Amino acid sequence: MVISMSEELGVKTKKSENFNEWYIEVIKKSGIADYSSVSGCMVIKPYAYAIWEKIQSLLNERFRKLGVKNAYFPLLIPERLLKKEEEHVEGFSPEVAWVTIGGSSELEEKLAVRPTSETIMYESFSKWIRSWRDLPLKINQWVNVVRWEFKNPVLFLRTREFLWQEGHTAHATKEDAEKEIEEILEIYREINEEYLALPSVRGKKTEIEKFAGAEYTVSIEHMMPNGKAIQGPDSHHLGQNFSKAFDIKFFDRDEKERYVWQNSWGFATRQLGIMFAVHGDDKGLIIPPRVAPIQVVIVPIYQEENKEVVLNGSRKLYEKLKEKFSVHLDDRDEYTPGFKFNEWELKGVPLRIEIGPRDIERDQVVLVRRDSGDKSSVPISKISNEIENTLDSIQKSLLERAKKHFEEHIEKVEKYEDLERIVNGKWALGGWCGDPACEKKIKDETSAKIITIPFDLNENPPDGHCVVCGKPAKYNVYIAKSY
């Protein structure tokens, strides 16, 4: 959070005109993250890291209630272990970073920097699990992972290293595992919607798009401001694919030996990027109050002759508010109030309090909302309540605004010819027969793909037809360009 006078605080790119450029400009100017000298690897600066810590604590609390325990498994995975599950290694090996040298010696076997930890964890699971009494086993870790992607890196959204939690569980029955898949997705939805103010679609991935090695993948899909789709957290039912490859068996109550049923699920720092992208505006970031590192910033406005009285009033207010809110008093003498307004708007602090000599006289302050810019004078006696209500209102209004954008950028597609036009800025909602050939045709011929089979639109079999081949539709699906 180091900004010197000479730096340009103004955001030059308009979000509506060039979303991609706007995003990078805002992230860098707001001082929350930066590229490093390794292509695709980022520095997460304290302001953004504090949001991640908040998310960690929210998720930990919820995982704990499900009986999930945190642990730590090694970063480095021997090649032979990664190769044990066939589909898994096929999916991941194109993007693995390999350690081949230790000190000055060539290693006998190269080691993968974990792209995900199924293989290293399940080797242990096969030792730990003996009997039905050991199940369910629910382990989570908060770690860094590396995927050597070759697409253009984008801060938070597409990085070669990112932070995440990865949960890995083993169950005695498929039913028990599948129940957990739903519980986890609900936790992810809650955090996204109620904390990050991000609406989403929940659904199942197609066979082509599922996690490498999974029986099926369910996920949360978000819409970016440019109408593209981006995948949020996901949850994979692994069936017995890995338990067979890693020999994870247990003696069941009937004394018969069976393979366990497994899930894995993850929530990554990408989610911060989606949040920054969705809520920000031409002035900078807007952080939803429930995860904001600073919810309220106090900016005193004074001349030399009334400096002490204004600063004293500001300090008193700060002391009063700090028990209840995450509040920051910006009493730096060397910057003007105007500079400070810009800086905190850029950083997305949801609420600003301005306090000048006349406010002191009248026992009031001015509240300014970051989302709407609305100003109001509030008596000091009512300030605490007023802040609480305003923060709630900002939280709600960010979600509503994002929901509205989401809904306005979905269009039903009936004819295949319309698809290319629709996905140029929107998601298409249409029928699909379920044939991978039709899915592949979309992928090959348009720049879009089937991003999810949404749960809420597939409770009953759909009426329509497949938008590609015209046969009766088996699913309603969203088709969109992927970010």
Q: Which of 367, 263, 255 is nearest to 317 (CA)?
A: 367
Assess 194 for contact with its own copies (CB under 8 A): no
Residue with Cβ nearer its own copies (126 or 295) = 126
Please report, for residues 114, 208, 465, 473, 478, the alpha-carbon distance to residue 439 in angstroms, rounded to integers and kept in the order given: 31, 9, 14, 13, 11
Residue 113 engages its own copies in binding (rule: CB under 8 A): yes
* Residue 373 interacts with its own copies (CB under 8 A): yes or no: no
Residue 385 contacts its own copies per CB under 8 A? no
> Minimum distance from CB of 148 to its own copies (Å)?
4
Q: How many other C-beta atoms are found inside a 10 Å radius of the C-beta of residue 7? A: 10
Q: Is 334 in the site for its own copies (CB under 8 A)?
A: yes
For position 184 contacting its own copies by CB under 8 A, the verdict is no
The reply on whether position 254 binds its own copies by CB under 8 A is no
Q: Which is nearer to its own copies, 76 or 457 (CB)?
A: 76
Kindly state the DSSP code that residue 205 receives in the 8-state scheme.
P
For its own copies, the binding residue among 14, 65, 133, 174 (CB under 8 A) is: 133
CA-CA distances (angstroms) from residue 326 to 60, 151, 295, 323?
21, 38, 5, 8
Q: Binding mask 51-80 vs its own copies (x if CB under 8 A, - otherwise)?
A: -xx---------------xxxxxxxxxx--
Shorter beta-carbon distance to its own copies: residue 77 or 423: 77
Part in contact with its own copies (CB under 8 A); list of ranges 117-125, 277-285, 409-417, 429-437: 117-125
Q: In whole angstroms, what is the distance from residue 111 CA to residue 249 CA?
A: 27
Which one, 131 or 424, has the nearer CB to its own copies?
Answer: 131
Helices (H), 136-213: 174-190
Q: Which two tokens stand for residue 258?
A: 């069976």
With binding defined as CB under 8 A, does residue 91 bind its own copies? no
Alpha-carbon distance of 241 to 85, in angstroms, equals 7
- 123 close to 81: Cβ distance less than 8 angstroms: yes
The reply on whether position 103 binds its own copies by CB under 8 A is: yes
Tokens of 16: 């509506």
Alpha carbon of 133 to those of 129, 137, 253, 379: distances in Å?
A: 9, 10, 9, 61
State which of residues 12, 14, 16, 38 lies at the interface with its own copies (CB under 8 A).
38
DSSP-based three-state secondary structure for 56 = helix
User: Which of 118, 161, 215, 281: binder of its own copies (CB under 8 A)?
Assistant: 161
- Least distance (Å) between residue 372 CB and its own copies: 30
C-beta of 334: minimal distance to its own copies in Å?
Answer: 7
Give which of 354, 298, 348 is closest to 321, Cα–Cα.
298
When asked if residue 96 is in the footprint of its own copies (CB under 8 A), the reply is yes
Binding to its own copies in span 209-228, by CB under 8 A = none
Query: Residue type at 432?
Result: W
* Nearest-approach distance from CB 140 to its own copies, in angstroms: 9
Q: Taking Cα atoms as reference points, which of 269, 188, 198, 179 lies closest to residue 233?
A: 188
152 binds its own copies (CB under 8 A): no
* Secondary structure class of 324 (helix, strand, coil): coil
4 counts as binding its own copies under rule CB under 8 A: yes
Quickly count: other Cβ atoms within 10 Å of residue 414's Cβ: 13
Q: How far apart are CA 74 and CA 295, in angstroms?
A: 37
Q: Which stretch binds its own copies (CB under 8 A): 107-115, 294-302, 370-378, 433-441?
A: 107-115
Which residue shows structure tokens 């996905």?
Answer: 423
Of 16 and 144, the one with the shorter C-beta distance to its own copies is: 144
Closer CB to its own copies, 86 or 149, in the complex? 149
Exactly one of 27, 139, 224, 438 binds its own copies (CB under 8 A); which one?
Answer: 139
Which CB, 169 or 200, lies closer to its own copies?
Answer: 169
Closest CB to its own copies among 177 and 442?
177
CB atoms within 10 A of CB 17: 9
Candidates 24, 66, 97, 457; binder of its own copies (CB under 8 A) is 97
* Cα separation values, 48 from 34, 42, 123, 230, 481, Å: 11, 12, 35, 20, 28
Q: Does 36 bind its own copies (CB under 8 A)?
A: yes
The answer, yes or no, to whether the previous bond of 136 is cis (omega within 30 of 0) is yes
Q: How far apart are CA 374 and CA 365, in angstroms?
A: 14
Task: Give the total of residues touching its own copies (CB under 8 A).
Answer: 64
Binding flag, residue 332, its own copies (CB under 8 A)? yes
Smaller CB distance to its own copies: residue 129 or 413?
129
What is the smallest separation between the CB atom of 110 and its own copies, expressed in angstroms?
7
Q: Burial, 4: exposed, middle or buried (Cβ in 10 Å; 0-12, 13-18, 19+)?
A: exposed
CB of 167 to its own copies, least distance (A): 13
Rounded to whole angstroms, the Cα distance separating 23 from 11 reads: 10
Residues at the site binding its own copies, with contacts judged by CB under 8 A:
2, 4, 6, 34, 36-38, 41-46, 49-50, 52-53, 69-78, 81, 93-104, 110-111, 113, 120, 123-124, 127-131, 133-134, 137, 139, 143-144, 146, 148, 150, 161, 163, 332, 334
